[in-house]
């Protein structure tokens, strides 16, 4: 959420952000709502002042003056009774529109409509050249008995799955490796709630525009989160943090849930796009300083890359264009892992991680204040980054490390987490 004063003074900048982020918002309607709200507040304050003035005049008034004052007092009361509902209506219209205002992209963010306009920064590692016909993750996992594809869909619906045996152990191993990397790098682990109030979804910017992607528990007015970013940021909602506490660095591990409402019929095969997954997420609160935030951003990105390096997965890093960054993001890098089985076996880089800076967008919406050393109040900046998300990360892990006989050679860093097993062998028929 931007400051309304900033919006008034920089309307053209905000219009450009609306256009470039492809957000549906009529800025003129917002400015009109703001004007109506301020004018109504002014009228109410004026009438309340007159009401108080009349109340003080009546006891001192002469017998002749008192009736007129009493009548005026009644008239002022009636005006207020009419104005106050108008203010509530104007405030609601204003608030609803404010929640749709995007943050301003950083200057380095390329303008573009979709993922084809993202700009590659670097590639790390080289895609493997197989001297045999490589299998995709569906074939490999089926061969190893790592997943039950059909059973869960009978009772849980489409895009459901159950990791079995080695598949389940592999997910636990990968997530634990990621956790250990982050703890070694100074992040505080959190296992947060995955059911949250609407306030948390709105405060972190996932509502109102992403409402259709969330699973609702209507009886309790709760929602299942699609990332632990939501509860980690919301840990400090309505708090005033002392600047000396920053930066605060969290790593949350949780189950995550997404309806994938906008991806109907897309990536239905395998585990690339599913409704339930496990994710280790990084969240940072830092001082409201662009240089500080940039440093934290690239440290988060480095953490994710360190995990991929341990998993020995080739990847590339790209800066996302304006059409690909979310409502609150001012900068986002995507990390795309090489998946040999994608693109009909031709292979492709596909997103497995994203790293985002959000400025004070979430802090304003969540009412998280920051008290500076001089006592002044402002808002902290927040950032987030995917450390690991499974089962998607299992796709490049399995496909890149497969052998001709269908076995899978585990990266050395993962072996201790798999009880010393170095090679996963297919199950016997």
Q: Give per-residue pLDDT as tens, 125-173.
A: 999 999 999 999 999 999 999 999 888 888 888 888 999 999 999 999 9
Are 92 and 184 members of one domain? Answer: no
Contact partners, residue 44, CB within 8 Å, separation at least 6: 80, 83, 84, 87
Provide the pLDDT confidence category of residue 262 given band limits of 50, 70 and 90.
low
Containing structural domain, residue 225: 115-424
Q: What percent of the chain has pLDDT over 90?
A: 81
Are 283 and 202 members of one domain? Answer: yes
pLDDT number for residue 389? 97
| Residue tagged active-site, from 273, 316, 369, 371 | 273
Are 78 and 216 members of one domain? Answer: no
In a domain, 173, yes or no: yes
In a domain, 103, yes or no: no
Are 289 and 388 members of one domain? Answer: yes
- CATH of residue 340's domain is 3.30.930.10
Please say which residue of 44, 64, 98 terminates a domain: 98
In a domain, 232, yes or no: yes
Please say which residue of 72, 98, 124 terminates a domain: 98
| Residue tagged active-site, from 37, 47, 159, 258 | 258
Q: Is 153 labeled as catalytic in the residue annotation?
A: no
Are 211 and 325 members of one domain? Answer: yes
Are 345 and 270 members of one domain? Answer: yes
Q: For 272-299, what is the mean pLDDT?
A: 96
Q: Is 407 labeled as catalytic in the residue annotation?
A: no
Are 351 and 293 members of one domain? Answer: yes
Distance CA 417, CA 175 (A): 10
pLDDT at 429 over 60: no
In a domain, 108, yes or no: no
| Inter-residue contact 353 to 335 (CB < 8 Å) | yes
Distance CA 303, CA 53 (A): 63
At residue 377's C-alpha, the angle toward residues 374 and 380, to 5°, is 110
> Alpha carbon of 264 to those of 158, 213, 335, 350: distances in Å?
11, 12, 24, 18
Q: Is 50 labeled as catalytic in the residue annotation?
A: no
Q: For 223-240, what is the mean pLDDT?
A: 97
Are 386 and 338 members of one domain? Answer: yes
| Residue tagged active-site, from 254, 351, 364, 399 | 351
In a domain, 12, yes or no: yes
Are 166 and 86 members of one domain? Answer: no
| Inter-residue contact 340 to 134 (CB < 8 Å) | yes
* pLDDT (tens digit per residue) in 391-414: 999 999 999 999 999 999 999 999
In a domain, 382, yes or no: yes
Of 48-62, 304-318, 391-405, the least confident = 48-62
- CATH of residue 42's domain is 1.10.287.40
Are 153 and 269 members of one domain? Answer: yes
* pLDDT (tens digit per residue) in 17-46: 999 999 999 999 999 999 999 999 999 888
Neighbouring C-beta atoms of residue 26, cutoff 10 Å: 12
Model confidence, pTM: 0.91
Identify how many contiguous H helices and E strands the chain contains and give both numbers: 12, 18
In a domain, 395, yes or no: yes
Are 119 and 162 members of one domain? Answer: yes
- Sheet bearing 195-197, strands edge to edge: 195-197, 222-224, 215-217
**Which of residues 1 and 185 earns the better pLDDT score?**
185
In a domain, 429, yes or no: no
pLDDT at 294 over 60: yes
Contact partners, residue 78, CB within 8 Å, separation at least 6: none
| Residue tagged active-site, from 354, 356, 366, 390 | 354
Q: Is 392 labeled as catalytic in the residue annotation?
A: yes
- Domain count for the chain, please give it: 2
Strand-strand pairing, 276-286 and 381-390: antiparallel
pLDDT at 210 over 70: yes
Please say which residue of 70, 98, 126 terminates a domain: 98
Q: Which of 279, 270, 287 is CA-nearest to residue 396?
A: 270
Q: Is 126 labeled as catalytic in the residue annotation?
A: no
Are 128 and 188 members of one domain? Answer: yes
């Amino acid at each position: 959420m931007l400051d309304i004063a900033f919006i008034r003074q920089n309307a053209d900048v905000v219009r450009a952000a609306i256009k470039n982020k492809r957000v549906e918002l009529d800025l003129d309607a917002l400015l009109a709502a703001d004007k109506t709200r301020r004018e109504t507040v002014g009228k109410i304050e004026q009438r309340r002042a007159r009401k108080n003035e009349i109340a003080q005049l009546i006891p001192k008034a002469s017998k002749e003056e008192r009736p007129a004052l009493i009548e005026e007092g009644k008239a002022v009361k009636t005006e207020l009774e009419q104005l106050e509902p108008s203010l509530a209506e104007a405030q609601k219209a204003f608030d609803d529109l404010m929640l749709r205002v995007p943050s301003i992209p950083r200057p380095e963010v390329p303008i573009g409509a979709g993922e084809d306009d993202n700009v590659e920064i670097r590639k790390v590692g080289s895609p493997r050249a197989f001297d045999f016909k490589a299998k995709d993750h569906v074939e490999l996992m089926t061969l190893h008995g790592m997943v039950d594809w059909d059973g869960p869909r009978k009772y849980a619906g489409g895009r459901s799955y159950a990791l079995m045996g080695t598949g389940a152990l592999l997910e636990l191993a990968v997530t634990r490796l990621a956790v250990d990397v982050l703890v070694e790098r100074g992040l505080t682990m959190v296992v947060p709630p995955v059911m949250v109030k609407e306030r948390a979804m709105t405060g972190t910017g996932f509502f109102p525009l992403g409402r259709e992607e969330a699973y609702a528990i209507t009886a309790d007015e709760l929602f299942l989160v699609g990332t632990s970013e939501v509860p980690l940021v919301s840990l400090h909602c309505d708090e005033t943090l002392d600047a000396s506490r920053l930066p605060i660095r969290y790593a949350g591990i949780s189950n995550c849930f997404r309806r994938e409402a906008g991806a109907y019929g897309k990536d239905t095969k395998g585990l690339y796009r599913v409704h339930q997954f496990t994710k280790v997420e990084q969240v940072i609160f830092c001082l409201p300083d662009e240089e500080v935030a940039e440093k934290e951003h690239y440290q988060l990105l480095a953490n994710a890359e360190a995990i991929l390096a341990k998993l020995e997965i080739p990847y590339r890093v790209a800066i996302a264009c304006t059409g690909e960054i979310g409502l609150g993001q001012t900068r986002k890098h995507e990390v795309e892992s090489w998946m040999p089985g994608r693109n009909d076996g031709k292979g492709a880089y596909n997103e497995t991680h994203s790293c985002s800076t959000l400025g004070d967008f979430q802090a304003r919406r969540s009412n998280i204040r920051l008290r500076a050393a001089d006592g002044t109040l402002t808002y902290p900046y927040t950032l987030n980054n995917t450390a690991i998300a499974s089962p998607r990360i299992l796709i490049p892990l399995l496909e890149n490390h497969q052998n001709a006989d269908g076995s899978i050679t585990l990266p050395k860093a993962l072996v201790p987490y798999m009880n010393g097993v170095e090679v996963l062998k297919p199950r016997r028929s």
